[in-house]
Amino acid sequence: MTSINGNQMQVRSERQVINLPFSRDSDWKTFLPKKLKVLKKGYLEIHCQDWVLNCRDLLYLKNFFENAGITITTIRSYISETIVSASALGFETDLILEKFTKSSSSLTKESANKNHPTGLSFHQGTLRSGEHLEVEGDVLLLGDVNPGAQISAAGNVMVWGRILGIAHAGKSGKTSAKISALQLRPVQLRIANKVARGPEEKPEEGLAEEALIVADKIVINPLKPCFQKT
């Protein structure tokens, strides 16, 4: 359930990529048979654009291509729901954080991306065991990160809930990244390449906390007063 990094990309360089049409352009299901003609047997990466796909849809995709001898390895999408479903099914996933609106053309999408190299992506709902939410900018989760679940971001990780699983901020090396949550009781925290095991003792209830790197070590502090309950 890891996302692709540079190395894996090279190993699987023979993998093919297709983009589903944007939802305003045409339906993805009717689009598939046309695409099948140009694909070879082997591995496939699918960019699902702005489609909100659930497990059932993704299984449909999986079966559809498997019947043609094609194995889906990676699901990319702008939509975090799609990514969560995909990672629940065990695909490699990649949530793309380019700013886009339903009416924008791909051109403005690219320019928006240049202006906002890192955005804030927002996800609502608890991450359950086995789920992995991974984003390229900052991430704000409204919900818990349960034991066995993981959340990671190139930027900051903010959780309006409890972190009981694994959180990784600054996953591409940004050491100034922070992890904050209403309750920090993680199995493991990572910031950039630093790893810390979670605290043994229960933190006080109702005290939001923040983890960051200070002098080469991950430390946990109470979150700044403006966030704190009075």
Q: Which residues of this protein are in contact with another protein, per CB under 8 A?
A: 54-56, 59, 84-85, 88, 125-131, 144, 146-148, 164
Nearer to another protein, 146 or 152 (CB): 146
Neighbours of 20 (CB within 10 A): 23
Taking the complex as a whole, how short is the minimal distance between the CB of residue 148 and another protein, in angstroms?
Answer: 5
CA angle 49/80/160 to nearest 5° reads 155
Taking the complex as a whole, how short is the minimal distance between the CB of residue 63 and another protein, in angstroms?
Answer: 9
Rounded Cα distance, 122 and 164, in Å: 19
Nearer to another protein, 76 or 178 (CB): 76
Taking the complex as a whole, how short is the minimal distance between the CB of residue 84 and another protein, in angstroms?
Answer: 7
Tokens of 206: 């109702």
- Residue 172 CA: distances (Å) to CA of 67, 104, 177, 218, 221: 37, 29, 10, 16, 23
Are residues 120 and 101 in contact, defined by beta-carbon separation less than 8 angstroms? Answer: no
| 43 backbone dihedrals φ, ψ, rounded to 5° | -100, 150
Nearer to another protein, 54 or 118 (CB): 54
Nearer to another protein, 62 or 168 (CB): 62
Taking the complex as a whole, how short is the minimal distance between the CB of residue 104 and another protein, in angstroms?
Answer: 28
Taking the complex as a whole, how short is the minimal distance between the CB of residue 82 and another protein, in angstroms?
Answer: 10
Nearer to another protein, 126 or 188 (CB): 126
Tokens of 191: 């910031």
Rounded Cα distance, 130 and 128, in Å: 6
Taking the complex as a whole, how short is the minimal distance between the CB of residue 128 and another protein, in angstroms?
Answer: 3
Strands (E), the chain: 16-19, 42-47, 70-77, 92-95, 120-124, 132-135, 138-142, 150-153, 157-163, 166-169, 179-184, 188-191, 194-197, 209-214, 217-222
Nearer to another protein, 164 or 179 (CB): 164
Nearer to another protein, 132 or 171 (CB): 132
Taking the complex as a whole, how short is the minimal distance between the CB of residue 107 and another protein, in angstroms?
Answer: 33
Are residues 109 and 115 in contact, defined by beta-carbon separation less than 8 angstroms? Answer: no
